[in-house]
Homo-oligomer: A and B are copies of this chain.
């Protein structure tokens, strides 16, 4: 089934204690699109770029079945730019620069060809912008996944709460789940968030894996223990892309299938961490992905015969 993603397509510059990336392609929709393309054969990306953005990356997306009709290119303007510096733990980071540029007045326009899509991925953006994409859909999509962050909880909590009422799956990290719910226990946080709109919640715990909750069930997918994390930027978006890309491809939103989607998303996120930016997703082969998925299977595989 067709997938529509709204999110940034942009430039990043990343510093880690070990290396610097220089100015490279980044943005939530870039990662989501590449990651989803492992599964989804038909997808649209809705975003905005300046004329400084490399045409070669757009061509790469298109070669992977991404329709870029909804990717607005503004002549004489600059693409969104984010610069950040990771701490020694490669987990926490400081923002050094945020140049909104074209993003400052981004009003996504959903092209006619995308309005019937059954799967919608709302990448991390102003919740009003996320809502405007849903407003333009011709019908209620089968599945809407929303990613957000603490920044929007701080400055746009009411619009965020409003758009949560219109989605199916929320993906946030553990600290954000605590902030949104006011509960420290992630189990209690999940219970509360599941009364706020979404029927399914993914709590991303970075190197500690991800939890998938619905009203009745819980599933845990570990993160693969990695020898080296070069750059975790985009891991969450790669996860989201793999997650919704697999659901759209299989057109199955059951909990059992979402569990598979969480594992596949985790596998794709683990690749993204291995190199700067989108590099690793661009070079990824089907064989490498299969081998990685097998490692996830093996990582948690055990058999126990209960006495009872």
Min Cβ gap A182→B in Å is: 13
Residue A184 interfacial (CB < 8 Å): yes
Q: Are B187 and A227 in contact (CB under 8 A)?
A: yes
Q: Are A304 and B227 in contact (CB under 8 A)?
A: no
Min Cβ gap A119→B in Å is: 20
Q: Which residues of B contact A301 (CB under 8 A)?
A: 219, 259
Q: Are A286 and B263 in contact (CB under 8 A)?
A: no
A4 to B17, CA, bound (A): 46
Segment touching B, from A28-36, A136-144, A290-298: A290-298
Q: Are A186 and B263 in contact (CB under 8 A)?
A: no
A293 to B302, CA, bound (A): 12
From B220, B228, B293, contact of A225 by CB (8 A): B220
Segment touching B, from A50-58, A110-118, A205-213: A205-213
Min Cβ gap A219→B in Å is: 7
Q: Are B186 and A225 in contact (CB under 8 A)?
A: yes
The 14 sampled A-B contact pairs (Cβ below 8 Å) are A88-B184, A185-B226, A185-B228, A185-B229, A187-B226, A208-B209, A209-B209, A211-B225, A220-B222, A222-B222, A259-B302, A263-B302, A287-B308, A290-B306
Residues in A lying within 8 Å of B, measured CB to CB = 88-90, 184-188, 205, 208-209, 211, 217-222, 225-229, 256, 259-260, 262-264, 286-287, 290-291, 293-294, 297-304, 306-308
Which 10 pairs, one residue from A and one from B, show the smallest C-beta to C-beta distance? Answer: A290-B308, A208-B208, A259-B302, A300-B300, A220-B222, A187-B227, A290-B306, A187-B225, A220-B299, A260-B304
